[in-house]
Amino acid sequence: MSLPVIVTRAEPAAADTVSRLLAAGYKAILSPVLTLEGLPDAEPDMAGIRHLIFTSANGVRFFQERGGMGEAVVWCVGEATAAAARQAGGRDVREGSGNGADLAAMILAAPETREGGLLHVANVAAAGDLVATLKGAGLDARFSALYRTVPARALAPEALDALATAPRSVVLIHSAKGAAAFREASVGMNLSPVVFVAISDSASQPLDGCGARAIIKAASPSETALMDALDTAVLAL
């Protein structure tokens, strides 16, 4: 397909999305709008931890760099994160529906989470709601930030060219931070030919009022649903 599809998610996961697009016949353009930076001085407090919580595959990757998961029960927000956890050696991986609130409810409903501590590993900006919900229910929940996200200063040249010259183009959005970073990097550009396909409602919200042709939201917050939404969006063009 000649329609350009711009992938904005951070590496290394962006390469996986590009591979899926190429396999499906799309013209994929890699233009990450976020860069991940590890926090070398951050050390998770593992004392008494029996449960690990990950809300992104990136959290799994940065945690793996500091050692294995051992016998911990691993709670993952969705399919991509769960797949990363299994690949990293997680033996008991629990997979959520892709929504943080649903993951919290799943954890609270499990009797085994009353035994031992729970550690949420994520980026600096993720501290807050999930751990607060678990602590509010009486669980020994902690947070460990092992990395941060840094917005890109500009889009890739190939992406800029596609946005400026293609009659229609699609931009894939994987997170609210990515949406905000894309919008900042595209200030002053005409986005009226662009169709955004976002992985969730929250991921789409920073795009409100951007002047795009359309903003399509995946039926559920997963890579598979995002690809389904892309196919639907392309058929409608």
Q: What is the dihedral of CA 203, 207, 212, 216, to 10 degrees?
A: 20
Q: Burial level of 47, CB count in 10 A (0-12/13-18/19+)?
A: exposed
Answer yes or no: is pLDDT of 185 > 70.
Answer: yes
pLDDT tops 90 at residue 105: yes
Structure tokens that stand for 26 in this block? 């799309």
- The side-by-side arrangement of strands in the sheet containing 214-217 is 27-30, 4-7, 169-173, 194-198, 214-217
Residue 197: closest CA among 2, 1, 3, 6 = 6
CA-derived radius of gyration, the chain: 19
pLDDT of residue 235: 87
Query: What pTM was computed for the model?
Result: 0.85
For 135, phi then psi, to 5°, come to: -65, -35
Structural domain count of the chain: 2
Indicate which CATH number applies to the domain containing 19: 3.40.50.10090
Average pLDDT, stretch 190-195?
96
User: Do 135 and 208 share a structural domain?
Assistant: no
Distance CA 123, CA 82 (A): 17
Question: What is the chain's mean pLDDT, rounded?
Answer: 94
pLDDT computed for residue 10 by the predictor: 92
pLDDT digits over 45-93, tens only? 899 999 999 999 999 999 998 888 889 999 999 988 999 999 999 999 9
Q: Is the pLDDT of residue 1 over 60?
A: no
Do 49 and 141 have their domain in common? yes
| Residue where a domain stops, chosen among 149, 167, 188 | 149
Please give the residue range of the domain that contains residue 209: 4-33+153-236
* Tokens found for residue 170: 């699609």
Tell me the residue type at 38: G
Return the bridge partners of 29, or none.
6
Give the per-residue pLDDT at 67: 82
> pLDDT tens for residues 157-182?
999 999 999 999 999 999 999 999 99
Domain boundary among 149, 178, 211: 149
Q: Does residue 199 share a domain with residue 96?
A: no
**pLDDT of the residue at 70:** 87
Q: How do residues 110-163 score in pLDDT, each as one tens digit? A: 999 999 999 999 999 886 789 999 999 999 999 999 999 999 989 999 999 999
**Hey, what are 201's tokens?**
């409602």
- Same structural domain, 99 and 55: yes
Residues 55 and 83 reside in one and the same domain = yes
Q: How far are the Cα atoms of 62, 113, 221 from residue 104, in angstroms, in the given order?
A: 22, 11, 15
Q: How confident is the model at residue 198 (pLDDT cuts 50, 70, 90)?
A: very high
